[in-house]
Structures are given as structure tokens and as C-alpha cells.
Amino acid sequence: MSELKEIHTKDGSISLRSLIFQENFHSLEGALKETEIKFINPSDLKRFKDKSLNVLDICFGLGYNSASLFSNLIRQNSFLNWYALEIDKRPLEYSLGNKSFQKLWDPKVLKILKSLSQNCAYKDQFFECNILWGDARETINNIPSNIKFDLIYLDGFSPQKCPQIWSMEFLEKVTQKLSTHGFLITYSSSAAIRKTLINLGLNIFNIKPNFVSNNIWSNGTIAIKIIDEKIIQSNLSFKKLSLMEEEHLLTKASIPYRDPTLNSNTHEIIQKRVREQLFSNLKASKEWRDKWGMTK
């Protein structure tokens, strides 16, 4: 754990900071709070009461997103087929050994997490869960091709820090696994990620923030294949992109991350994008920031 540092967030939940990526796993406002606002609320899980659903959690990390998912589904008798992709076993081991994390969850949730940590799987009459350890660019190929997901959570380190899971090529694999009416949910509001998802044929919505300021205008992105107005109107997290956000997609910031061989390292992917931005005729993102009063 020398590369991971414990962080205490404002809502009392614990998180970690990666000293390699120089980035926290969660916002300092709260790990549990972030999970609820950016992933669980947009999922609108009540849709699946007494029904079955397939969920894919990419970059499982400490397990907050899926632990909260499990907790909600236990209470509504849903049948869950769940997969997760994660490269590092240590965050989950840390969570399971932390008393404040343990206190957050129903005993069954902890039972599932322990089984995933020890056996990579869990199964009972309601839940069938499998976690695939390793590079997500490879392990995603081990998910049965016939499974389409109703929810896909994409929660890795930021694109600038870990572009491997945000590349056009990897996201193409991810979107191919999304069901016709499924939601791909991520905390990222990056122009590059949003434009990539649009280029892959998805419709993009903003996850509505609790309040709006010059630098807090989004809690993330929901991407869907087919727009169902009834679902969108009933989900309080959906918000159409503003003119500001649409213009963001016309700047150099929207140029995607590329990893054609799906085995490039961080430096190679970043440098490829920097070169493409350099020769692009798109508007500089600074012009966009200046126009809309962004301070960073």
C-alpha cells in the first residue's frame, strides 16, 4: 500500500490517493456522496424492481459504486448479473479491512465483496457476480459476447492520468456492450470523452449538478443509444447539454485519445493526442474558457 494513501472525505467516508497517478479515487466532498450523486441516482434503479439487469463496473476501485448498487438492489428483489474490471486488488482489500467502510453496508453486501476478493465471484438466487482482474483493455474480451449491459459505470482515473481506458478504441469495445436502452454513466465531462461517445453513435446528456458555477456545471455524463423521452423526463439526473457544453465539443479539447493497438502506455497516448491537437484547425480551448468565464 506504499503507493496508496488513505484519505478522509467530508462526508465521513474513506478513500485513497494514488501516489503514482497523483490523483484521489474520489472527491474530497465525499466518496459515498460522489457515488450516490454521480452513479446511483442517474441509474434510476427503481426501474428494475422485481426485474433482472446486467451491470458492468469498469475500474471497480474501492468498491463504492457497486456496493451501493448491491445495497439498493437487495432492497427491491432485483436479479443482478454483474461484471467488474479492475487491475489492482489492493483497494478492495483495503476497503474490506476498514471498519468505517464496513459500517456503511448490509452484511450481504460485505459478503459479496469478500467473495469477490477471495474467489473473484459470488452467486446466490438473486446475484451472479464476477470480477475480472487485469488490464481492462484485455479482460473486457473475457465477458461473454452475448451479454449486453443495462448499466455501465466508467470510473477510472481522469483521462489525462490514465488515458488507456478513455481511448476511442477501448470505448468502442465498451459501447458495443451497452444494451439498446442501457445507460453508460461516468463522472467525466471531458470534451474528448463526450465527443468520442458521440462519434461512437451515442446520445450525450449532462448529469445535473446540485448547483452551477463557472467551474461546477456538471456531475458527469450519461450516454445512451436511443433517446426515450419518457425515461429522460422521469430521471431527474438527465439534463441536455447547454450551449456552453456544445461549444466545448468544437474545441481542440474534444480531440480523442487514441490507442489503436490497445496496448500503448500513458505517454504514447498523450503524445499522440498532443500532436493531433497541434495540427488541428479547431478552436483553442482557451478561447472557450475565456468566452464562458472559466477560471481553469
pLDDT by residue (tens digit) across 259-294? 999 999 999 999 999 999 999 999 999 999 999 888
- Residue 228, pLDDT score: 83
pLDDT at 208: 85
pTM score:
0.95
Domains of the chain: which residue ranges?
31-241
Q: Count of CB atoms within 10 A of residue 285's CB?
A: 18
Q: Which CATH superfamily is domain 31-241 in?
A: Vaccinia Virus protein VP39 (3.40.50.150)
Task: Give the pLDDT score at 234.
Answer: 81
| Alpha helix positions (H), 17-81 | 31-35, 41-43, 64-74
Q: Would strands 14-18 and 4-8 be described as parallel, antiparallel, or unpaired?
A: antiparallel
Q: Give the 3-state secondary structure of 237-293.
A: CEECCCHHHHHHCCEHHHCCCCCCCCCCCHHHHHHHHHHHHHCCCCECHHHHHHHCC
Contact by Cβ (8 Å): 174, 164: no
Give start and end residues of each alpha helix (H) in 36-135.
Answer: 41-43, 64-74, 90-96, 99-102, 107-119
Q: What letter represents residue 268's amino acid?
A: E
Low-confidence ranges of the chain (pLDDT < 50): none
pLDDT of residue 1: 60
Confidence (pLDDT) at 10: 93
Per-residue confidence (pLDDT) for residue 294, from 0 to 100: 81
